């Protein structure tokens, strides 16, 4: 599945003023164009608050567009009928940014992961026991265990919840995955496993990824192409190696310089610390 984002803008309405008026709107996305190739991983990095999550919400049609088009395999998603949109959603899944807010606290892990299989039952068509098997298989893939099956989200750590979100997104064998900071709560060794799992699925099944992360090391590892976004505008995009080795914009250079180095000797703070 390929995705074309063409000149997309999103302006949030300003605060209400009096009965009819509104203050100045807030431009979260300003003329953004990206093109994500089928079977590739596209990374999006950028300032916090620069519109990354808003863009994913536009792709899922959770937000209207103020301007521009979003095309999946050439067809405009904001023109799809509800039925067509539902079909599309079975091929397009998302791992949400916040592992605390995105899991329903009243559902067990089993039901959370099985939910997309039920919602898209007309496409997936599994018996209840087959669904449970599938859920088990997914939990194992992301490094959780069968004993976790009937627990509720609040009984899990941040990283465990994040993996539940990933398992849910993979449940229906989607073709396209939007991953909004999918490994931010994982320790680096589990992160390595998850990244390798995503890579393997991509090789085996030809998945396409839209991968948002603040971790430039992760983006470099998993992505083919990358776009850098700042204040709602794309400041540069291209192949990962080209952008990271030879950044053209000041903002990208600043990001690369601000990456914390895992070598203690290269800390700007070291002077004071008790070493």
In this structure, the number of other CB atoms found within 10 A of the CB of residue 268 comes to 7
Binding site for ligand ATP (CB under 6 A): 12, 26, 28, 48-54, 97, 154-160, 185, 187
Q: Does 156 bind another protein (CB under 8 A)?
A: yes
Are the C-beta atoms of residues 8 and 31 closer than 8 Å to each other?
yes
Among 23, 25, 158, 239, the residue binding Mg ion under the rule CB under 5 A is 158
Query: By CB under 8 A, what part of segment 128-147 binds another protein?
Result: 143, 147
- Residue 108, judged by CB atoms within 10 A of its CB (0-12, 13-18, 19+), counts as middle
Q: Which of 57, 261, 66 is nearest to 178 (CA)?
A: 57
Task: Report which secondary-structure segment, H or E, holds 33.
Answer: strand 26-36
Which two structure tokens, joined as six digits, stand for 158?
Answer: 């941040």
Q: How far is the CB of 37 from ligand ATP (least distance, A)?
A: 23
Enumerate the β-bridge partners of residue 208. 176
Kindly list the distances between the CA atom of residue 16 and the CA atoms of 33, 55, 64, 131, 197, in Å, as whole numbers in the listed order: 30, 24, 19, 47, 47
- What is the secondary structure of 56-122 as a DSSP string? HHHHTTSS--SEEEEEETTEEGGG--HHHHHHHHHHEEEE-S-TTTSS-TTS-HHHHHHHHHHHTHH
Q: Does 49 bind Mg ion (CB under 5 A)?
A: no
Query: By CB under 8 A, what part of segment 202-221 binds another protein?
Result: 203, 214, 216-218, 220-221
Site string for another protein, 47-76 (x = CB under 8 A): xxxx--x-----------------------
Q: Does 239 bind another protein (CB under 8 A)?
A: no
Q: Does 46 bind another protein (CB under 8 A)?
A: yes
Burial 59-95, CB ≥16 within 10 A → b, else e: bbeebebbebebbbeeeebeebeeeeeeebbbbbbbb
Q: Does 146 bind Mg ion (CB under 5 A)?
A: no
218 binds, among another protein, Mg ion, ligand ATP, none (CB under 5 to 8 A by kind): another protein
Q: How far is the CB of 159 from ligand ATP (least distance, A)?
A: 3
Q: Does 248 bind Mg ion (CB under 5 A)?
A: no
Rounded CA separation 184/182 (Å): 6
Which of 156, 176 has the CB closer to ligand ATP? 156
Q: Does 27 bind another protein (CB under 8 A)?
A: no
83 binds, among another protein, ligand ATP, Mg ion, none (CB under 5 to 8 A by kind): none
3-state SS assignment for residue 6: strand
Q: Which residues in this chain contact another protein in the complex, by CB under 8 A?
A: 12, 15, 45-50, 53, 97-98, 100-101, 143, 147, 150-151, 155-160, 163, 181, 184-193, 195-196, 199-200, 203, 214, 216-218, 220-222, 244, 254-255, 258-264, 266-269, 272-275
Q: Which residues in this chain contact Mg ion in the complex, by CB under 5 A?
A: 52-53, 97, 157-158
């Amino acid at each position: 599945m390929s995705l074309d984002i063409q000149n997309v803008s999103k302006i949030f309405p300003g605060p209400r003023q009096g009965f009819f008026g509104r203050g100045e709107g807030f431009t979260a996305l300003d003329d953004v164009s990206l093109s994500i190739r089928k079977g590739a991983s596209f990374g999006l990095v950028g300032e916090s608050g620069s519109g990354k999550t808003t863009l994913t919400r536009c792709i899922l049609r959770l937000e209207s567009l103020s301007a521009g088009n979003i095309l999946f395999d050439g067809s405009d998603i904001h023109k799809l009928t509800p039925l067509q949109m539902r079909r599309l959603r079975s091929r397009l899944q998302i791992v949400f940014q916040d592992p605390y807010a995105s899991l329903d606290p009243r559902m067990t892990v089993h039901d959370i992961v099985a939910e997309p299989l039920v919602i898209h039952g007309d496409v997936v068509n599994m018996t209840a026991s087959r669904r449970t098997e599938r859920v088990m298989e997914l939990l194992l893939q992301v490094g959780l265990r069968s004993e976790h099956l009937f627990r509720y989200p609040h009984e899990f750590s941040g990283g465990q919840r994040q993996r539940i979100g990933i398992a849910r997104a993979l449940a229906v064998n989607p073709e396209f995955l939007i991953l909004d900071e999918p490994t931010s709560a994982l320790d680096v060794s589990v992160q390595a496993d998850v990244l390798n799992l995503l890579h393997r699925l991509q090789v085996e099944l030809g998945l396409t990824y839209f991968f948002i992360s603040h971790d430039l090391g992760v983006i470099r590892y998993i992505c083919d192409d990358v776009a850098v976004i700042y204040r709602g505008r794309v400041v540069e995009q291209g192949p990962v190696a080209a952008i990271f080795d030879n950044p053209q914009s000041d903002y990208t250079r600043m990001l690369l310089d601000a990456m914390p180095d895992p070598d203690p000797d290269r800390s700007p703070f070291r002077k004071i610390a008790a070493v």
